[in-house]
Structure 1
């Protein structure tokens, strides 16, 4: 979900990942996750999104599977990937499965009406980016 919003800035040998402006990055995430383009992020689309992280196809996503997927193209997101995994792992059992997806979807669905609108999705991700900005490069200035 996160990778389409990554903006990389190469400064010498350093790479900074910057998701600002957060609302724009969250919009990009929504657009990339709303597979049928109906302007609603459905529970089925959430499950489709997580299927790509399930490297061994067992129906569960381990922290290792998720972190490996995220950091393969952007190693600098290692700590951020762990924070995201913790957010997704609502049950706290160190595996993502249907139970976690149900509970995570409920977190996204701010008005509890059974569907996640673009605004609910964006609001959730903006708060998440803000809460984790120390893990994804924000605030690292003075380089260059």
Structure 2
């Protein structure tokens, strides 16, 4: 899910001069595409196991955790234009705020999206969560939040 979700679905633009979120609009459509891509068994429900599977691809050293550096490097390899937003997303995924992504965070992120708390994440819940998240990123994007949290992650090379 690590855009995981957005990396797979779409690309972003505007690395150096604030965030240009226009290519992601309308956000509900972007979120629907992300859900379809990340619902690995295509049953209309995203489980914690599916989220775990998606996040596992970011763990490049296989230690069960993704550092900001690993996450950002993976995102940048997929699309350098995602560099700045990758920091916003990393912070959103780091549910417990310990500066590493692991199963606790993935399950917490799944729970955050599961608005009716039934343990099953459907498209409606997923879309509502992502629309709110992307809108919040857009509203703070011009403050360069992502660049202030680089923590040694390499800049993407275009």
TM-score norm. by structure 2 comes to 0.76
Match of 1:3 among 7, 13, 26: 7
Per-residue displacement from partner, 1:61-93 (whole Å, max 9, x unpaired)? 111111111122322222210000000001111
For the Cα contact (< 8 Å) 1:55–1:65, is it kept in 2? yes
Aligned length: 131
For the Cα contact (< 8 Å) 1:40–1:115, is it kept in 2? yes
Runs of 5+ consecutive residues of structure 1 not aligned to the other structure? 10-15, 137-144
Match of 1:49 among 50, 54, 60: 54
Query: Which structure is larger by alpha-carbon Rg, 1 or 2?
Result: 1
1:8 Cα offset (Å):
6.2
TM-score norm. by structure 1 comes to 0.83
Runs of 5+ consecutive residues of structure 2 not aligned to the other structure? 14-19, 143-158
1:78-89 aligned within 5 A: 78-89=83-94
Q: What CA distance in whole angstroms lies between the structure 1 residues aligned with 2:91 and 2:65? A: 15
Structure 1 partner of 2:35: 30
Q: What CA distance in whole angstroms lies between the structure 2 residues aligned with 1:124 and 1:8? A: 19
Q: What CA distance in whole angstroms lies between the structure 2 residues aligned with 1:48 and 1:26? A: 19
